[in-house]
Structures are given as C-alpha cells and as structure tokens.
Chains A and B, each alone.
Chain A
Amino acid sequence: MFTQDYLLRGLYVKGEVSNCKYHSSGHIYFTLKDAKGTIGCVMFAGSRGGLSFRMSEGQQVIVGGTVDVYERDGKYQLYAREIILAGSGLLYERFERLKRELQESGMFAQEYKQPIPKYIRTLGVVTADTGAAVRDIIQIAGRRNPYVQIILYPAIVQGEAAVKSIVKGIRTLEAMGVDVMIVGRGGGSIEDLWAFNEREVAQAVFDCSVPVISAVGHETDTTIIDYVADLRAPTPSAAAELAVADVREILRKVSMYRDSIQRRMQWILEGKHSKLRHLKLHMKVVSPGYRLNQKKMDVISAEIRLREGMQHLLEKRRHLLELYVERMRGLSPLERLCSGYSYMEDAEGKNIRSVRQVQEGQEIHIMVSDGVIDARVTAVQALEPEAQDG
C-alpha cells in the first residue's frame, strides 16, 4: 500500500540523528527525531552513495527516501536513499563563494607560498589547548626532535569567538618570531571547522610572514585556509611531521659532513705529502752526489765483471791442465809397475835392458809397484843371438 503511494515514495524528512549505528553489514540504522516525534530509519549498504559524511548523534539532517512497513515488527520505517546535513547547503555555498573570490584575488597563487624551512628551532601552534590535535602535534614533534621549542597559542577554534582568537594567535606567534606555524584543529563537523573558512582567518594566514602549515580536521576536510597556507597538512599529526625534521637525520647529516670534510682534508694532505716524496726522490736522482755514487757503482760492477771473467779463464786453463795430467798419468812408468811390469837397476842405478849388462853373482835391484826387491843374478841366458842387439 505504502509503496504505491506517490508521496511516501519520494519524501524528505528533517530531524536530529539519534541512536545511530553503523552495522558491519554496511547498513546504517538510526532514529530521526524532532520536537514532535520520531521515526526509525535505515540506509542500506547499497544506498551509501547518498551519504557523504559520517553521521553522528545530534546532527541535523535531511533524509530523502521511502516510507514502508517493516513487516516483522509491523512498524513503518524510513528507507533512506540520501542524507544531507541540514544547513550545510548554505555553508557550502558560502565556502564556494569565498573560495572563488579569494582564488580570483590571487591569494592561492603558488608564487606566494613560502618554503617550509627544513630545520627549525621554534614551532608555533595555533590551536585549542585541549583535545587530540595539540597532543598529537606535541607528541610527534617531540618524538622527531625534542630540541625544537614549541610555543602554543591556546586559541578558541569553534564558535563565535573563534575567528578573532585564531587571527590573534597567528599575529602573536608571528610577532614572537617562530620559524614555522601550524594553524588548525582536530576533526569535527563542517560547522565546527567553520572558523577556518572565514575571510579574516584566511587573510591573517596570507599576511603572515612566518610560513604557515594548515592542519584542519581529517584528511577529507578541506577548508579555505588550506588553500591560503604555505603548506596543507591532512591532519595535525601530519603537520607536525612536515614542520619538524627528524633530529636523528639532522645529526646524521652533520656527522656525515664532518667525516666528509675531514676525509677530504686528509686526502689533500696525503696528496701533497706524496707529491713531496716524489719531488724529493727526483731531487736525489738529479743531485751530483747521486751521480757520483752511480759512477762508483759502475766502477764496482766493472771490477766484478773483470774478476769474474778472469776467474772463468783460469778455471778453463785448470781444467785443461787436469786433462794433461790425466794423459800424463797413462804414460807414467809407475803406472806400468802397477800392472805387473817391473824395472831393474844395477848397483850404479843403471837401467838393465839386456842380458849383456849383467853377470852371474851380480847384485841388482828390481822395482815393483810397492817397493824394491834386492836380488842376485844366478844365471844369464840370451834368447837368440840376433835379438840381443835390439
């Protein structure tokens, strides 16, 4: 019956969100209420495209959808196709208008962006002194470099007084001469973040001579000051990371420079030393003393060669001599005695070569290899008459 009703099929209901539950299936269950009554609502996972923000308790929303009966309970429900924040349409329009205007005035231009110094000594923070944003910034900045001085300007970041407070914070920290400034706050609804969409805040950020990092809400939130700031950080934590370099990296760099300079200097000195050594050597070679020495060496070497040549010659002669000695030995009479021959002498030492030189009873000496035999001739016999003249 309901589904056929034209009116109930294309219906918009405005109210406050309560009992909002994001179910793990992707469906969202909540109750919409106003001063007069309540209605149960469900947005199925398939319709989630109609919701562009995270719903939370107390938000004023306009829900577009269909009313039908949930048969199990016999209750009628609003099946949401689209949910928009009430009043956000107006804010969105203001946002777009100011954005367009400031863009046209050139305030977003890249040429106005100041570089964020890599190594800072003081960090200014304009945010509320309570809440997650300031804690995240302090924690992360402190972890990365506890030697950086953080100065917090405790600003009012939402409500009536916010714009004035933030602007004053920016100007005060600028006057104190911080190196970099983070301006922002933690997440919240578009209304909560609104101060950062105001012209005066944008102007203060633009005018600030100190580089400004904007850090408003979550990654998905974009505010006017994000366009004006010198750098936009998605979150306050990220802003702290962008503002403060890791001190370990800095110390590493310093020691790297020290090593490098010392190594270079050592290398240069080494080079000069080696050049000096080389020159010294060269000087030595060309000095008269060295040349004299060289000549002396030449003389000595000639002498050695001479002596060696002589020695060689002598050795050759000696060898030749030995050969002669050997040959001579072959001819020696003693050698014959050794092989069984003997040599005879008469008493006068005359060599006996013939039977005619001896007579019976005469004393003779017979030489053998190892001594002399004294003997007496007992008989003499000639072999043959012709042979005796030989």
Chain B
Amino acid sequence: MSEEKKELTLEENFARLEEIIGRLEDEELPLEEAFQAYTEGMLLLGQCNEQIDRVEKQVLKLGMDGQLEEFEDGEDRV
C-alpha cells in the first residue's frame, strides 16, 4: 500500500524497453533520436542483467537478535 520506489524495477525496465522498441518501429523517427533510443535501450538491458544479478543466493534466516544467518534445512531438526 505504498507507492514510492527507489530505482526502476525489472518490470518498469521491461515496460520502458517496450516503449523504446515501439519508438524504433516508427518509420519517421529521425536517426539521432533512433540512436538515443537505442543507446537507452542497451543501457536498460545492462541494468536488467544487473538486476537479475546472477549470483545464487543462500537462504537467510533472521535470528532472534535481528542478525541474519545462513539457513540450514530444518529437515534433520524436525
């Protein structure tokens, strides 16, 4: 129920990319603007890749003291 966001989310980036592609599809688009759009698109793609952040994450568990620790599967502790 809050609207404020710090940076563009992946979703917003995707929406922006759709927009850029839409502009590039315009036959009348001047070359300079096409280049601008293209550059922006490539930048956004880079951001998307960063956002996907392809590093496998450990599951973190919040301890009672507010510290995060690595979560080990509780299977053997049931």
A272 adjacent to B31 (CB under 8 Å): yes
Which chain B residue lies CB-closest to A155?
B62
Residues of chain B from 1 to 60 with CB closer than 8 A to chain A in the complex: 1-2, 9-11, 14, 17, 20-21, 24-25, 27, 29, 31, 34-35, 38, 41-42, 45, 48-49, 51-57, 59-60
**Which residues of A lie under 8 Å from residue B29 when comparing CB positions?**
268
Evaluate whether A254 and B52 lie within 8 angstroms (CB atoms) in the complex, with A172-B62, A209-B2 already known: yes
B21 adjacent to A152 (CB under 8 Å): no
- Residue A119 is within 8 A (CB to CB) of chain B in the complex: yes
**Which residues of A lie under 8 Å from residue B71 when comparing CB positions?**
129, 138, 150, 152
B78 adjacent to A131 (CB under 8 Å): yes
Contact code string B60-73 (vs A, CB < 8 Å = 1, else 0): 11100010100101
Residues of chain A from 111 to 127 with CB closer than 8 A to chain B in the complex: 112, 114, 117-119, 121
B59 adjacent to A135 (CB under 8 Å): no
A150 to B11, CA, bound (A): 19
**Which residues of A lie under 8 Å from residue B53 when comparing CB positions?**
121, 147
Consensus secondary structure, chain A interface: helix
Q: Which of A114, A135, A250 contacts B10, CB < 8 Å?
A: A250
Closest CB in chain A relative to B2 CB, distance in Å: 4
A265 adjacent to B62 (CB under 8 Å): no
Closest CB in chain B relative to A293 CB, distance in Å: 33
Closest CB in chain B relative to A259 CB, distance in Å: 10
**Which residues of B lie under 8 Å from residue A119 when comparing CB positions?**
9-11, 14, 51
A261 adjacent to B21 (CB under 8 Å): yes
Closest CB in chain A relative to B11 CB, distance in Å: 5
B59 adjacent to A114 (CB under 8 Å): no
A254 adjacent to B25 (CB under 8 Å): no
- How many residues of chain A have a CB within 8 Å of chain B? 43
A280 to B78, CA, bound (A): 80
Closest CB in chain B relative to A58 CB, distance in Å: 18
A261 adjacent to B11 (CB under 8 Å): no
**Which residues of B lie under 8 Å from residue A131 when comparing CB positions?**
74, 78
A268 adjacent to B11 (CB under 8 Å): no
A154 to B10, CA, bound (A): 29
Closest CB in chain B relative to A147 CB, distance in Å: 5
Q: Which of B9, B17, B57 contacts A150, CB < 8 Å?
A: B57
Evaluate whether A149 and B42 lie within 8 angstroms (CB atoms) in the complex, with A119-B11, A121-B53, A247-B52 already known: no
6 tightest A-B CB contacts, nearest first: A264-B24, A119-B10, A130-B74, A209-B2, A261-B41, A149-B57
Q: Name A residues whose Cβ lies closer than 8 Å to a Cβ of B.
A: 112, 114, 117-119, 121, 129-131, 134-135, 138, 142, 146-154, 172-173, 176, 207-209, 247, 250-251, 253-254, 257-258, 260-261, 264-265, 268-269, 271-272
Q: Name B residues whose Cβ lies closer than 8 Å to a Cβ of A.
A: 1-2, 9-11, 14, 17, 20-21, 24-25, 27, 29, 31, 34-35, 38, 41-42, 45, 48-49, 51-57, 59-62, 66, 68, 71, 73-75, 77-78
User: What would 20 A/B residue contacts be, using CB atoms closer than 8 Å?
Assistant: A112-B1, A117-B11, A119-B11, A129-B61, A147-B52, A147-B57, A150-B57, A150-B59, A151-B68, A152-B62, A172-B62, A208-B1, A250-B10, A253-B14, A257-B21, A257-B48, A261-B20, A261-B38, A264-B25, A271-B27
